[in-house]
């Protein structure tokens, strides 16, 4: 990646993405955020330029810069991704920290955020718009859907499958072969020994329904 990047979202995810891009020597052109109170303020030395649907800035995407979506919710990220696809005919780029280890046999989609210390083993697949916080480990043949949020220090065992929109807190351990359903939530520090149904919320050691 050599183009400057325009980051959509100036909240915590936007700041994480900023750190990742800077770690790789990528220029962050600016931020866009719909909170007008943030406009013309700076993150680091980079300006929050305006709103996410400002055509003046959207026109730059694909010409002078790439886009990364760092909005706070899955709904917002979906909307902004679809907007960029429709208006600029492009997918958001990945933000992958330089201190990450990714197997050459892994597959990674678009618009993902991989923070420092991410360890992605062989034949892992990651969908689109996922967030891997620092020091996440994905072991061999793990399959991660779209818009999955995985907390810092979480270890995902070999062959684990995680459905779209699932949330795993910090320090979670998921043993080999477990399936976690769509939009499920796993509390921080939990150890998941059995499958988790879609939309379920589990916590503990072993993880049980909350």
pLDDT of residue 72: 83
Exposed / middle / buried, residue 140 (Cβ in 10 Å: 0-12, 13-18, 19+): middle
CATH number of 94-210: 2.160.10.10
Q: Quick: pLDDT tens for 50-97.
A: 999 999 999 999 888 999 999 988 899 999 999 999 999 999 999 999
Which element (helix H / strand E) includes 32?
A: strand 28-32
Q: Quick: pLDDT tens for 151-210.
A: 999 999 999 999 999 999 999 999 999 999 999 999 999 999 999 999 999 999 999 998
Are the CB atoms for 48 and 25 separated by under 8 Å? no
**203: its two tokens:** 């916590």
Q: Where are the domains of the chain?
A: 5-93, 94-210
pTM over 0.85: yes
In the predicted model, what is the mean pLDDT of residues 137-154?
A: 98
Q: Which CATH architecture has domain 5-93?
A: 3-Layer(aba) Sandwich (3.40)
Report the range of poorest mean pLDDT among 12-21, 69-78, 123-132. 69-78
**CB neighbour burial string for 75-90, b if at least 16 within 10 angstroms, e if fewer:** ebbbebbebbeeebee
Residue 30 CB partners (closer than 8 Å, separation 6+)? 6, 7, 46, 47, 48, 49, 57
């Amino acid at each position: 990646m050599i183009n400057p990047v325009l980051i959509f979202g100036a909240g915590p995810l936007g700041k994480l993405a900023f750190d990742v891009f800077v770690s790789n020597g990528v220029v962050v052109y600016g931020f866009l955020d719909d909170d007008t109170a943030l406009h013309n303020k700076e993150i680091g030395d980079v300006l929050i330029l305006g709103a996410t649907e400002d055509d003046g800035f959207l026109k730059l995407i694909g010409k002078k810069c790439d886009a990364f979506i760092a909005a706070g919710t899955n709904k917002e990220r979906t909307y902004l991704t679809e907007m960029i696809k429709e208006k600029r005919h492009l997918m958001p780029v990945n933000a992958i920290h330089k201190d990450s280890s990714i197997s050459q046999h892994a597959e990674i989609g678009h618009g993902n955020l991989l923070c420092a210390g991410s360890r992605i083993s062989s034949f892992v697949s990651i969908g689109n718009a996922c967030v891997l916080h620092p020091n996440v480990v994905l072991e061999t043949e793990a399959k991660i859907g779209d818009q999955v949020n995985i907390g810092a220090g979480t270890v995902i065992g070999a062959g684990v499958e995680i459905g779209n929109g699932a949330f795993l807190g910090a320090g979670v351990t998921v043993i080999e072969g477990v399936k976690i359903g769509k939009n499920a939530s796993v509390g921080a520090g939990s150890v998941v020994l059995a499958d988790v149904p879609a939309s379920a919320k589990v916590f503990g050691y072993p993880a049980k329904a909350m």
